[in-house]
């Protein structure tokens, strides 16, 4: 009986010695390699787990020996990604990220008026460092603006050394006799250049011609230029239609072309009219005639309705037409009520 057990045991030892119990391929651990990696191992053989670059070992054991039982012990070792230094804040810019772990990439953008000095992305590398390094958002600057021909810089303050910052402005002025086309103010843009520069052009105006029944004065010069002025006047009873002083515009024409207009003679002897909202005696108000352009309103009677209404009349270059509805009556006809004293009609004549 005893010898039978012995034989069994001896034969087991014999089996282990000749065939043996082998260890199978070890369990894989994420982000780790096994050295050496084989399909089976003899008892006593040693394996080593190595985390892949960018990962480090956490917990458990790295080295194992294949035991006589032929089954690998439990392994709680983990490979965890390296974490790059905090890079969640970029002054004057924004960082976009999910995590700061290997092998993630984060990206950068700068606020308007700033530009990225450096790369717009950085990757957390195997060493746990950002590659390339974290950029900075540097302020955009504009070199001093080019001065257009026939212009001068009238306002300019380089606030960034010899340069200007985003949104800084400069103002140009044209030389005398030159007119500006475009905006006199330029602004440093987010691209580091200036907005459209203005242009200064020489402007000549033709000599103004003398108006009929009047005169015009202008500088005694070879040519009349931008902003030069001419002064108009009229003879006798003529009045100026237009401004007294005109100016040579940037388009090479005069701001206006005044003419002389005749004064109107008043043909009625006695009439009360509305002049600038007030009742006046026409013959008194315009004793010396009515200047061109003046307007008055005559009072007329509506006989059926026994009320009064007004009709306008204007002096146009010596011509003044009294409205037909107006009835002038003799100063002797004292019993007649003047239309201006009759109550106004409710609506229309
Ligand atoms: C950009 O960054 C580099 C390195 O950080 C620095 O030497 C350089 O002066 C910067 N350039 C500007 C225009 O800010
Ligand atoms: C500005 O420009 C002048 C002349 O080019 C130079 O001498 C000076 O050093 C510059 N200043 C700065 C702050 O760059
Ligand atoms: C000229 O440009 C300035 C700023 O660049 C702007 O504020 C202004 O409205 C512009 N003027 C005209 C007349 O366009
Ligand atoms: C300024 O630069 C930007 C970008 O390069 C360009 O699109 C724009 O036309 C430039 N502006 C002027 C006024 O030159
Ligand atoms: C002067 O010329 C400009 C451009 O041709 C025109 O728009 C303007 O009306 C002219 N002015 C006068 C007073 O004729």
Domain of 60, CATH number, reads 2.10.70.10
Q: Which two tokens stand for residue 232?
A: 């108009």
Same domain, 255 and 217: yes
Pocket lining: 57 vs ligand 3, CB cutoff 6 Å? no
Best probe residue, ligand 1, of 93, 117, 141 (max atoms within 8 Å of C-beta): 117
Contact 134, 116 (CB under 8 A): no
Q: Does residue 263 have a pLDDT over 60?
A: yes
Q: What strands, in cross-sheet order, belong to the sheet with 295-302?
A: 278-281, 272-275, 295-302, 307-314
> For residue 11, which phi and psi values (nearest 5 degrees)?
-65, -30
pLDDT grade, residue 331 (50/70/90)?
low
Q: Does residue 19 have a pLDDT over 80?
A: no
Same domain, 253 and 208: yes
Same domain, 196 and 210: no
Give the pLDDT confidence score for residue 340 in this predicted structure: 83
Of 122, 139, 156, which one is at a domain's C-terminal end?
139
Query: Mean pLDDT across the stretch 148-162?
Result: 94
Query: Could you tell me the distance, in angstroms and rounded to a whole number, from the CA of residue 149 to the centre of ligand 4?
Result: 20
Same domain, 52 and 63: yes
Number of domains in the chain: 5
Query: Could you tell me the distance, in angstroms and rounded to a whole number, from the CA of residue 116 to the centre of ligand 4?
Result: 18
Nearest alpha carbon to residue 264 among 290, 296, 234: 290
Q: Does residue 115 fall inside a structural domain?
A: yes
The residue whose CA is least distant from atom 3 of ligand 3 is 185
Same domain, 106 and 127: yes
For all residues of the chain together, what is the average pLDDT? 91
CA dihedral 159, 160, 166, 172 (to 10 degrees): 50
pLDDT grade, residue 8 (50/70/90)?
low
Same domain, 128 and 149: no
Q: Does residue 245 fall inside a structural domain?
A: yes
Instruction: Give the ligand whose atoms come closest to the C-alpha of residue 184.
Output: 3
9 burial class (0-12, 13-18, 19+ CB within 10 angstroms)?
exposed
Q: Give the angle subtended at the CA of 326 by the CAs of 322 and 329, to the nearest 5°.
A: 110
Same domain, 320 and 290: yes
Q: Does residue 249 fall inside a structural domain?
A: yes
Q: Does residue 186 have a pLDDT over 70?
A: yes
Range of the domain at 254: 204-262
Q: Does residue 13 fall inside a structural domain?
A: no
d(CA 297, CA 44): 128
pTM of the model as a whole: 0.67
Q: Does residue 71 fall inside a structural domain?
A: yes
Query: Mean pLDDT across the stretch 30-55?
Result: 96
Give the pLDDT confidence score for residue 14 in this predicted structure: 46
Q: Does residue 8 fall inside a structural domain?
A: no
Q: Does residue 11 have a pLDDT over 90?
A: no
Q: Does residue 304 fall inside a structural domain?
A: yes
Pocket lining: 185 vs ligand 5, CB cutoff 6 Å? no
Query: Could you tell me the distance, in angstroms and rounded to a whole number, from the CA of residue 167 to the centre of ligand 2?
Result: 21
Query: Could you tell me the distance, in angstroms and rounded to a whole number, from the CA of residue 117 to the centre of ligand 1?
Result: 6
The ligand 5 atom nearest the CA atom of 254: 13
Q: Does residue 109 fall inside a structural domain?
A: yes
């Amino acid at each position: 009986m005893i010898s039978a057990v012995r034989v069994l045991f001896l034969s087991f030892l014999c089996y282990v010695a000749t065939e043996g119990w082998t260890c199978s391929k070890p369990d894989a651990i994420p982000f780790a390699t096994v050295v050496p990696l084989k399909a089976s191992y003899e008892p006593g053989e040693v394996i080593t787990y190595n985390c892949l670059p960018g990962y480090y070992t956490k917990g458990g054991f790295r080295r194992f020996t294949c035991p006589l039982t032929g089954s690998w012990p439990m392994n709680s070792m983990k490979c965890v990604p390296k974490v790059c230094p905090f890079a969640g804040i970029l002054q004057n810019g924004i960082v976009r990220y999910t995590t700061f772990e290997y092998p993630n990439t984060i990206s950068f953008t700068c606020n308007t008026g700033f530009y990225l000095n450096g790369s717009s992305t950085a990757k957390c590398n195997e060493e746990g460092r950002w590659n390339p390094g974290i950029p900075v958002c540097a302020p955009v600057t504009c070199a001093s603006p080019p001065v257009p021909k026939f212009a001068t810089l009238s306002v300019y303050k380089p606030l960034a050394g010899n340069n200007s910052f985003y949104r800084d402005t400069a103002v140009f002025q044209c030389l005398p006799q030159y007119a500006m086309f475009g905006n006199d103010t330029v602004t440093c843009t987010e691209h580091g250049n200036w907005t459209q520069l203005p242009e200064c052009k020489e402007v000549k105006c033709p000599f103004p011609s003398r108006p009929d029944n009047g005169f015009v004065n202008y500088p005694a010069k070879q040519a009349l230029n931008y902003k030069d002025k001419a002064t108009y006047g009229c003879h006798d009873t003529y009045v100026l239609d237009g401004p007294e002083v005109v100016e040579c515009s940037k388009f090479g024409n005069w701001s206006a072309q005044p003419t002389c207009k005749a004064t109107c003679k008043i043909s009625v002897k006695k009439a009360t009219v509305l002049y600038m909202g007030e009742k006046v005696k026409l013959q008194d108000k315009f004793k010396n005639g009515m200047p061109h352009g003046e307007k008055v309103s005559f009072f007329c009677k509506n006989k059926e309705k026994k009320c009064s209404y007004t009709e306008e009349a204007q002096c146009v270059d010596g011509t003044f037409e009294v409205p037909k509805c107006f009835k002038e009556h003799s100063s002797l006809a004292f019993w007649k009520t003047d239309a201006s004293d009759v109550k106004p009609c409710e609506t229309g004549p």
